[in-house]
Amino acid sequence: MNIEFEKAYEAWLGLLLEKETNLRVRSRIENGLEHATLEFLRSVWFPVIRNFNHLHPEWEVQDFHNGYRYLDLAFLPGNGVKGGIEIQGYGPHARDLDVRRFKDLCWRHCLLTLDDWTFLPIAYLSIKEEPKRCQQLVLSFMGKFVATDTPSSFNWLEAECIRYARRLLRPFTPSELATHLGITDHHARRILHNLVIQQVLHVASGKQRYRTYALRT
């Protein structure tokens, strides 16, 4: 996994630098991504997304005072979609945060929201201690923007079940899936059973009778 990540990461950065015309952004990328951002990509993003398509580090945005701010990562798949990811380190963002910096951080989030960004802050400690939970969060984040590709061998109900699972941050019941798809509970259980066999989903709770399911990460 590390070798695969390193190859994909180096290819991604090389392509970004080849295309980048903003000298400020280019300089920031050439200086290297912050450790927390790199750990997020290595432990959370790449294991579940498997690529860096539409992902841009050190993305420059302009504030209301004609100054420049930089997002750790921007997800820009097109059609006006704008997703921002920031890794919140404990030191600079919490323990050492004074009143002025706290106010500035709040303004930053407000301005991004007003500019139609969907913003995802993730604590660095969560990346280190709860990577699987963060992976599920990223899948749900992606699910807000794109109809994630599913293998063509799946029928539309199975494909929609996978997309439904990707949008949730928790396990779900067959009844919830049945309501979402407009089918019977029995039919929903049959779909879930097939996806468990294909190792797309896993049983989150229940032994003799499965109660909840979740996306396998």
Asked if residue 149 has pLDDT above 60, the reply is: no
pLDDT tens digits for range 171-207: 899 999 999 899 999 999 999 999 999 988 999 988 7
Tell me which amino acid residue 127 is. Answer: I
Beta strands 118-123 and 81-88, pairing class: parallel
pLDDT tens digits for range 44-67: 999 888 889 899 999 998 776 677
Q: Which of 71-75, 85-89, 108-112, 171-175 comes out lowest in average pLDDT?
A: 108-112
Cα-only R_g, the chain: 20
**Partner residues linked to 212 by β-bridges:** 205
For position 89, what pLDDT does the model report? 74
Residue 118 phi/psi, 5° resolution?
Answer: -95, 120
Residues 6 or more apart whose Cβ sits within 8 Å of residue 58:
25, 28, 29, 33, 70, 71, 72
Q: Which helix (H) or strand (E) holds 137?
A: helix 131-143
Q: Give long-range contacts, CB 8 A cutoff, 24+ apart: 121-126.
A: 121/85, 121/86, 121/87, 121/88, 122/40, 122/44, 122/85, 122/86, 122/87, 122/88, 123/87, 123/88, 123/90, 124/36, 124/39, 124/87, 124/88, 124/89, 124/90, 125/90
For position 87, what pLDDT does the model report? 92
Query: What token pair was written down for 33?
Result: 């991504």
Asked if residue 93 has pLDDT above 50, the reply is: no
